[in-house]
Each structure stands twice: as C-alpha cells, then as structure tokens.
Chains A and B, each alone.
Chain A
Amino acid sequence: MQTLTRVRAIVNEQPVEFLCEPRQSLLECLRDILGLTGSKEGCNDGNCGACTVILDGRPVNSCLVLGVEAEGCRITTIEGIARGTELHPLQRAFLNQAALQCGFCTPGLIVAAKALLDEDPDPSEERIRAFLANNLCRCTGYDKVVRAVQDAAAAGREEVPA
C-alpha cells in the first residue's frame, strides 16, 4: 500500500489539508480529493490548459504539478474567481460575448485570463492571444474569447479608476 502524504495549502483563500499519493497530480487532488471539479482534465500532459490554476501568483498547468508539491502554496481555481455569488467581470464578459460553446476549456481560459489581467490590466489583443496560447478551445475560434477578455479588462478599469 502506497504511503499517503499530508499536504497543507491555501486553496481559494481557505486553508485546506489533504492526504495524497506522491504520484497524484495537483489536478487529481483538486478534483478527486477536494471535490473542486471546475478544473478540467483535457490532455493531462500540459498542452490544453483546461487544468490551469494560479499557483503562488502564476498560472500553471495543474496536471504537470504533483499534489505533494502544493505544500505551503496558495492556489486559485475557477471556483475561487467569483466574489461570493457575484460573477467576476471575466465570467460576465464570457457570458455576454458567448465566448464558449461546450465550456470544457472555459475554466482554464478564465483562470489564465485572470492571471493576465492581474499582471496587466490593459493588455493588447496580441498580448491576450500570446498569453492564452496554452489554452486550447476547439469551439469558438478564440475571437469571442479575446473580445471577452478585452471587455473584462475595460470593466475592471472602470471599477478601479486610475
């Protein structure tokens, strides 16, 4: 029987503690142990970005991180993006622009876009496209996604006047 390791981390601003096998990815731990099934498993090898989470301030593919590596880390998943019952401007913008069809890539795209807007509140279209290059969407063709991120960036700038 494989030994389980205790991991303590901050997930969506809440301290959590869980037991996992060293071979379980952070994505598996989030989904199967913590029940946070918003992060999706697409390719499971770092290509599709559906599992993107923010780890200590930086977007990463949680399928390429071991759960045990999260010890002491601060993680934001799609479940931590909304403010209570109020959607994040990115979530509203994705709805308004219909920037999704099947929705499987959407959690990863919104989390990655959040990381972008945290770093750069007014990104150019080129920057948005480059930053979201690791988030594959097979439905939308990306244009609506880019427009949604631009709308959210504008909404965010209105909320916090310079």
Chain B
Amino acid sequence: MQAFEYANPSTLQEALSLLGNRWGEVDVLAGGTDLLPLMKDEIHTPRRVVNIKNVKELGGIQSTKAGLRIGAAVTLEELLQSALVRKTYPALADAARGIASPQIRNMGTVGGDLCQRPRCWYFRNGFGLLARDAGGQALVPGGENQYHAILGNSGPAYFVSASLLGPALIAYNATVKLASASGSRDVPVEKFFVTPQNDSSREIALLPNEIVTGIVIPSAVTRSATYEVRQRQALDWPLAAASVVLRMKGATVAGARVVLGHVAPTPWVSEEAAQALAGKAINEETATEAGKAALAGATPLSQNAYKVQLARVAVKRALLQAARGRA
C-alpha cells in the first residue's frame, strides 16, 4: 500500500473540508472492507484518506416525517439489528443479511455498500473501469465475462454494479443524501447509479468533493422482498438478485417496483416486469411471467447466458416471497 496522509475528523464540516476536487486524490474510509483491498492492490492510490467513522452526524437510524433515515456510516450489522428495518423494509433486511459474513457486516457500512467499486476482475487487475487493453479495445466481450452484465451492456461498461442494498433502496424509491463543503443535495437512489462513459469517471453520481451522508426511505405500506441467487451462501456477491416492492389493492397488484441486481452496470429497474404484474394477483404463473418480462431484453455475452435464467428466477422468487409476507 502506498503511503498517505490520514485524517480523522469528528464533524461533518471538517470531513468535507478534507475532500479533493478530482477523483483519485482523496478517499473516504468507512468500513474499509472495499477501500483497503483497493489500496493494497494500488487500484486506488489516494494521497489522503479521510476516516468518517467518528463523524457523529453520519450514524444512527431514525424515523422522520420523510421516512426512515439511515446514516451513511451505519454498519450492515446495525442495519440488520434494527427491528424497524426488519419489520418495515424486509427487502432491505434480506439484502443486508446476504452480505458476506459477520466480520464484514460489522465493518461495512450502508454508504460504503452504495459506493463500493465493481468486482469486475479486469478492473481489479488494473485494466480500468471500462476494461480496455493498451490499444483501447474492450476486453470483456471476447474475454472472461461469466460474471459480467447481461443488460445495459452495449458498452462502454460491461461490469455489474456491486451494490447489494441498491436494488432494494431503488425499489422503495429511497433518496440518497449527499453533502459537500458548499451545500447538500438529495438524489433518488435510482439516479445515483450511472453507467460511466470513460475510465476517469465513476459508476455513481457522487462528486469527488462530496460524501454520502445518509439514505431516506419513504414510509409506505407495501409488501417487499429481495431474493439473491448465489453460488455460495456467504462471502460472495450474488450472481443475480431481485428486489421487489408491491403496493396491493386487495389481492391484486396496484403498483410494483422490480429492480434487478448484478445484471447490469447499474441496478436495473424493470418497467416491463412492473407492467406485467399490474392488476394481477401474485402466484407462480404471474411471478414467472414477470421474470420472463424482466429479462426479455437481455443481451448476454459469450459466457454468461446462464445468468438470464438465474435473474428470471430471482424475480419470480422475490415476488412470491413478498406476496407471502413474513411473520
């Protein structure tokens, strides 16, 4: 790991004054579960690291008029321990429960989940976010792409968004709160994830002089669930995931949000699945149809066609789980 200057601010204002104006200068340290490996591999080589774990304003889970506010530095374990989260936002709890391991959940944070870098092995091995060779040729389409995108993959990005909480937060229409030294802004989580157009940009709408301060999830009576298809039950990212939020009118769907994870460079909102469910009861047949609709436009790469069926199944099982509800 290259040497850097360490800053340990105790207020948000102080933390914001320590950020840089260009990506690469300064990194924000919360759980460290992604940043430290990136720095050890010298994919990130910041000259300064700002630890935000001691910034009080970034902690805590509170019910507010606008909905549930979750501080960016809340750990994934704290999120899971919240009875309010488990009871009211099961799709979020399902997603948090699936993350890695007890050790990682004790360290990793909500803000960090949204800001973690892609797991694309070309990126992690120094080929850049868009994974190109020295001549500018994209390496993924003809390369080892079994874990890459099957939607939104016409280029230039082929990686999948690594965020586990993102799909659930988007399904709940949550907002992410960002702050810089000159002010703060709210961005719908759906708009927070972006497909980068060049190697020097990022896969999130955060600016280099901003940090994520928290999330607000509007309160609404819904049924929701997240289902992840995994190779292993722990210590891995899903191969495909789906978060669904259903607004029911009696036994039928008045409105649905279906958001897929790990299939595209951003969490993938499926209007097609939502339309397929409108006015229907949720059962094996309608849930299967919604899964088919969500993946109808899939364009798998040479080695990842298997992910299409996994994603269909994720949508189906998330819908059935949401409809069943839980004690």
Interface residues, chain A, with chain B CB atoms under 8 Å away: 2, 5, 21-23, 25, 44-47, 49, 52, 55, 58-61, 63-66, 68-69, 71, 112, 115, 130-131, 133-134
Contact = CB atoms under 8 A, between A and B. Distances in A.
Contact of A69 (B2, B4, B51, B106): B51
Given A64-B36, A68-B8, A71-B8, A134 B3 contact: no
Nearest to A59: B103
Contacts of A63: 36
Nearest to B37: A45
B106 A58 contact: yes
Nearest to A57: B106
A23 B103 contact: no
Contacts of A55: 106
A13 to B, nearest CB: 21
A25 B6 contact: no
A134 B2 contact: no
B296 interface: no
Given A23-B4, A44-B40, A66-B29, A133 B106 contact: no
Contact of A47 (B1, B102, B106, B235): B235
A24 to B, nearest CB: 8
Q: Is the interface of A mostly helix, strand, loop or mixed?
A: mixed
A60 B107 contact: yes
B55 to A, nearest CB: 13
B6 A133 contact: no
Contacts of A64: 31-33, 36-37, 107
A59 B33 contact: no
B3 A2 contact: yes
A59 B105 CA distance: 10
B36 A66 contact: yes
A46 B37 contact: yes
A22 B36 contact: no
B282 interface: no
B32 A58 contact: no
Interface in B35-50: 36-37, 39-40, 49
B234 A134 contact: yes
A22 B5 contact: yes
B184 interface: no
Given A58-B77, A64-B107, A22 B4 contact: yes
A69 B234 CA distance: 26
Across the A-B interface, give the 7 residue pairs with the lowest CB-CB distance, nearest first.
Answer: A134-B101, A133-B234, A22-B6, A58-B106, A23-B1, A45-B37, A134-B103
Interface in B13-31: 29, 31
A60 B108 CA distance: 10
B253 interface: no
Contacts of B80: none
B229 interface: no
Contact of B102 (A21, A45, A46, A134): A134
Nearest to A133: B234
Given A66-B32, A112-B102, A61 B51 contact: no
Nearest to A134: B101
Contacts of B106: 55, 58-60
A69 B5 CA distance: 13
A64 B40 CA distance: 10
Nearest to B1: A23
9 contacts: A21-B3, A22-B5, A23-B3, A46-B36, A64-B37, A66-B36, A66-B51, A112-B102, A134-B101
